Amino acid sequence: MYTQAWQLAEGNVSCPSGLGANIGASIGVKEEDKERFEKLYDLGARTFCIDVAHGHHILVKKMLEWIESFKALRKLQDPLEKLTIIAGNIATPEAYNDLCDWGADVVKVGIGPGSACATRKNTGVGIPQLYALEMINDALIHHPQPASIIADGGLVHVGDIAKALKFADAVMLGSMFSGTAESPGHVFRNEQNEFYKVYGGSASGENKGENKFVEGVMKTVKFKGKVKYIVREIEDGLRSTFSYVGVDNLIAFQTKCEFIHISDASRTESKI
């Protein structure tokens, strides 16, 4: 759907009636992003992600305020006109509370946990992902108008997704889907006659389009085939997770699941 949203922004396709809410597009916090937002909205997009590395920022607040003024100006009341605004990334309860107050419907959590992210290495800034999710989930419980939480980054195995969903409503996956037929980029062959694709962080020089200070890297990943097989593995894994915990839905899982601290020997035994 993000590819379709990009085509919408370029004016290459029109949005089928009723599908706007299912099309997501990323925007930034610059003046030109306001024009991009309006163009995408007029073409049918209804879900927007203010996608910046540092989500707890005055420019994010100003963009959220501008979107609120846009909604008031357009007098959006029809259900098909309803906007869903995602903002991030953040890693503290203070940031979560502010984004909720500023008007975000969904908040992305994660500073530096992604496999292609170099933020913690290059800046020394970041909070362990599971700890950040736990603190922010506590803030969600106490906020009068809580935003949903997306766990973004640090998810390598299906078990990581299960742990993140203890505190999050959804997860954002990068490396797990990299190398699939549906992911961006071309398939190449290396010297070992293996097929691969190139995967990179959003803050890498290649994705930023300039070689100034970067907080992401590019790397090669083996070609994995169609993404449906990975999605099927995730679905089967989560069903098994729920069965072990003794639940049949996410809310029950979040209520019943408990975390315990384990030793290094336990980690070795667990193969994590």
DSSP 81: G
The C-alpha atoms of residue 189 and residue 199 are separated, in whole angstroms, by 15
Which residues are part of the catalytic machinery? 117, 119
The C-alpha atoms of residue 272 and residue 267 are separated, in whole angstroms, by 6
Question: Which amino acid appears at position 1 of this protein?
Answer: M
Total Cβ atoms within 10 A of residue 222:
12
CA trace torsion 172, 160, 129, 88 (10° rounding): 10
CA 167 from chain center: how many Å?
A: 15
DSSP 92: S
Bridge-based pairing state of the strands 84-90 and 106-109: parallel
Bridge-based pairing state of the strands 84-90 and 195-200: unpaired
In angstroms, the Cα distances linking 37 to 22, 44, 46, 56, 169 are: 16, 11, 10, 20, 25
Which stretches within 178-226 are classed as H helix? 205-208
The H or E element that residue 11 is part of is none
